[in-house]
Amino acid sequence: MKRFLILVLALLFSTPLLAGQPIMMVRSKLKAADAMEVLKETVQEYGYSIAHVQRCDGGMAEFDYKSDFYRVLFFGKIDEVRGILKRYPEMAPFLPLKIAVIAENDETVLAAVDPRALAHLYGHNPVLQVQFARWYNDIRSMMEELRHYRKK
């Protein structure tokens, strides 16, 4: 598990990681491909658009991590992301938001960077503090839905 967590921290998102950045993680009994489909639907139900799904299996294999399924779902609210990047272009490495979906044994791991970890970069900016908290709540809720999701 420790090796897995280190790999997730190192490769989860093709962006620079902040020191001490907390990771949000849940496990689901869904097969990874099914979890990805449910996650796509859930993200859209929360009002977000899917920007891209990136395969990461090959890159992980270079680090001797074998996974049948490793994808990162990039998502956001287009106008929201554009507005934030216009005011704070330095946030580009962190947007759009991302959730990784990784097959591990008979479970699927969903992992994301806690958006509140960005708060210290923006001091007491109340607008961004609220934004980070909202993103956290949305991502946490989406991940919890996947944790408890049962195939119909």
Residue 57's CB: how many other CB atoms inside 10 A?
A: 15
pTM: 0.78
Domain ranges of the chain: 13-148
CATH H-level superfamily of 13-148: TT1751-like domain (3.30.310.70)
pLDDT at 60: 57
Q: Which residues of the chain have pLDDT under 50?
A: 1-20
Q: What pLDDT sits at residue 57?
A: 62
Nearest to 101 by CA among 16, 39, 49, 19: 39
> In this structure, what is the dihedral angle of CA atoms 14, 19, 113, 34, given to the nearest 10 degrees?
60
Closest CA to 144 of 112, 118, 119: 112
pLDDT of residue 8: 44
* DSSP E strand stretches across the chain: 23-28, 49-55, 70-76, 97-104, 107-113
Q: What is the pLDDT of residue 10?
A: 45
